[in-house]
Amino acid sequence: MKTTLPSFLIHTRPWLRDCFLILALTVLTLSPGRAVYGQENHDHAEGALVLESIVVSAERIDAYAQTNPQQVVVLDDAEIQRRNMLSVEEALGSMAGVEVKKSSGIGSRISIRGSGKSSGVLVLLNGRPLGSSQYGGADLSTIPIEIVKSITVFKPPVPVWLGPGASEGAIVIVTRDATDMRGEKKPHVTRIRGAGGSYGYAEASVSHRVKLTAGSAMATASGNHRDGKRTNSDRNSGNASLHWDRALSGGRRLELDGRYYLSEYGSAGPEDNPTPDARQSYRKGSLDSRLSGIVGSSGDYAINLYGDTVHLKDESQTGLVSTLDDDKIGIKAENNWSGDDDRWGLQLSGILERDDVDHTLSGSHHRTTSGIGAQVDRRWTALATTLGARIDHTTDFDFNPGFSGGLSIPLNDRWAVKANAGYRVNIPTFGQLYQPSHGSIDQARGNPDLDEERIWSTDATLEYRQGKAHHFQVSLFRSDTRDPIVYERGDDRIYRPMNADRAWRHGVEATWKYGFASGLSLDFDAILQDSEVTDTGNELPYTPRVKLKLTMQYTLKDPGTRLETTLRYRSRQYSEAENREDQRIDAYTTVDVKVIQPFTIRTLAAEGFLTVENLLDEDYEVHYGYPDDGVRFVSGFNLTF
């Protein structure tokens, strides 16, 4: 529960705690050891697996997914390029059990394994958290898809050592570095994309990677424009990024990244409360540095120093203009090691982060977050176990614990049984506490009396794997939340957050992937679930009982044409906690298709593509009052040289 400290403690406690944490972070990074799940020491020079990034090669990721209890889904850059994914949101939405719903304002609603919550998903970019205290979620649009090397999704319960939060899952995004150019014969690679489509859509992007003496550098830039179907739903955006990495002496590596994103768009508002004059402009700059390497003969460590600055300007339907400035700075350190027989492992992580928000309507707010987490893994001949714990502190909600544990029992070389349990605490965002900020600020309010959510989650899974092409699993899952934050929409059509007493959600998820020798592959994911807010007996908002996704891919051998079709089904759901029938979101089925044709222009590798969304022009909405634009298309080309 939120606490109020005496004034002298407010000024002294954080400094003492932060000094202690910085000392602990230093100890973590200098502790000797060998990389968890790594091979012999010489593998470090060849990019052996270091779990702060969770990814290096597809083979090592597959091994991690098979031998550890956590439910992990991985998408690598080869598949991202092969399927011509145009954004991080699209890439995530293609993964089993993951759904991304674009918001009319900043960020996206990310659902992992059927959850309808708008927060609770931890997003890490090269190990550092992306979420802000104002929104809770991450603005994925600020990450150019061209820089992404891999995306790893952890389904709940998530290992607590990854960081605070993550009650609804975790997403680990890793960007490209010098190791990605080892197979390149040329010292540089340039990729250009141009595209256009319905509703005035236009996009252009360019990326350039170059080998350096002891590292690499990469630059990207892109811009796009789209006129929505509704009045005042247009959007303009652009981003630029720079990356530099260099191998240092003693097995160390230094990486520097800078990103800048800007957008300007209108907010049409829900149909029963339109905001035709609401506009928003958004600017975000980020600067990251990362030092990783080896200590002594076999220790692995990583230290991230990072910062964000955000400026937001809202013009509401009433003519009120408000601004928000959000500045964040943080440090995160991780260390991993295992025994000589590779049968036990230990990961440690620590974080210290300061977030300062200044909003026209709600004033200035500050939050310092600090925490330490640890996870111990143990392998026996017939099973593997994991156990983790962490303690986090925020200056406005005091101390909060977390833990996770798991068990994996291989039945043979293909079948395994896995079980996990975890406890997490979600801290309310400043937007939930005081005032959200988006293009229709007249439609939502904050609640400064909110308590933190406390979530227990469990799952049990039967899994089958045969190489990369064949995979099947069925999972039973459940989450129980004390003091869940739910939104009620009053007669004035304004949403307000509140704490209910308890809520639960449970169900079953089945995933099947099969690749045929003919070039056809099928990916099927189904979630059947039930939920309830125990105070009222109503369903949790944005939590449909049935979610289905089927993707079929086929490659024609002679021309090399790649075809893809995705079918999605969602049963009816509600947008608010009262489950009003007049605000119900009806069931819908959508079909998307994609065609990609590779060709050459003299010595240039090229491909043309066509993507059609909502092919059957289904009349539906993913947010109440915001109808989909209907059938739409994007076509364009990629050039690589």
Query: What's at 426, amino acid-wise?
Result: N
SS3 string of 477-541? EEEEEECCEEEEECCCCCEEEEECCEEEEEEEEEEEEEECCCCEEEEEEEEEEEEEECCCCECCC
Residue 178 Cα to chain centre, angstroms: 24
d(CA 405, CA 393): 21
Q: Which stretch of DSSP H or E encloses residue 17?
A: helix 7-30
**End-to-end Cα distance, the chain:** 57
Residue 234 confidence (pLDDT): 93
Give the CB-side neighbour count of residue 128, counting CA atoms within 13 A: 26
Place of tokens 């994925």: 140
CB burial readout 139-150, b (16+ within 10 A) else e:
bbbbbbbbbbbb
Give the three-class secondary structure for 314. strand
Query: Of 388, 369, 306, 310, whose CA–CA distance to 125 is shortest?
Result: 306
Residue 77 Cα to chain centre, angstroms: 16
Residue 22 confidence (pLDDT): 46
Residues pairing with 58 in the sheet: none
The pair of structure tokens assigned to 157 is 């319960």
Domains of the chain: residue spans and CATH: 7-189+279-598+611-635 (2.40.170.20)
The pair of structure tokens assigned to 249 is 């002496």
Residue pair 488/498 in contact (Cβ under 8 Å)? The answer is yes
Query: Of 95, 63, 67, whose CA–CA distance to 79 is shortest?
Result: 95
Mean pLDDT by 10 residues, the chain (641 residues): 39 43 46 37 34 39 65 91 94 93 72 88 92 81 92 93 91 83 76 96 96 92 94 93 93 94 89 84 95 77 95 85 93 85 85 94 92 92 92 94 95 93 94 73 84 97 88 96 92 88 97 91 97 96 96 92 97 92 94 96 92 96 90 96 90
Residue pair 171/157 in contact (Cβ under 8 Å)? The answer is no
Give the phi and the psi of residue 116 in degrees, each rounded to 5. Answer: -105, 5
Give the three-class secondary structure for 562. strand
- Convert the pLDDT of each residue in 385-442 to its tens digit: 999 999 999 999 999 999 999 999 999 989 999 999 999 999 999 989 988 765 455 6
Residue 49 confidence (pLDDT): 35
The pair of structure tokens assigned to 591 is 């079909």
Query: What's at 467, amino acid-wise?
Result: G
d(CA 52, CA 632): 40
- Convert the pLDDT of each residue in 42-66 to its tens digit: 333 333 333 333 333 344 445 556 6
d(CA 256, CA 243): 6
Can you give the length of the chain in residues?
A: 641
Residue pair 595/575 in contact (Cβ under 8 Å)? The answer is no
Give the three-class secondary structure for 27. helix
d(CA 433, CA 455): 19
d(CA 351, CA 334): 9
Residue 390 confidence (pLDDT): 96
Residue pair 357/364 in contact (Cβ under 8 Å)? The answer is yes
Concatenating the DSSP letter of every residue in 580-620 gives -GGGEEPPEEEEEEEEEEEEEETTEEEEEEEEEESTT----
Residue 468 confidence (pLDDT): 76
The pair of structure tokens assigned to 354 is 């300061």
Give the CB-side neighbour count of residue 588, counting CA atoms within 13 A: 18
CA-to-CA separations, 541 to 126, 614, 624, in angstroms, rounded: 32, 24, 11
- Convert the pLDDT of each residue in 493-527 to its tens digit: 888 899 999 999 999 999 999 998 888 999 999 99
Concatenating the DSSP letter of every residue in 423-481 gives EEEEPPPHHHHT---STTGGGB---TTPPPEEEEEEEEEEEEEETTTEEEEEEEEEEEE
d(CA 171, CA 302): 18
Give the phi and the psi of residue 411 in degrees, each rounded to 5. Answer: -85, -35
Instruction: Report the mean per-residue pLDDT for the chain.
Output: 86
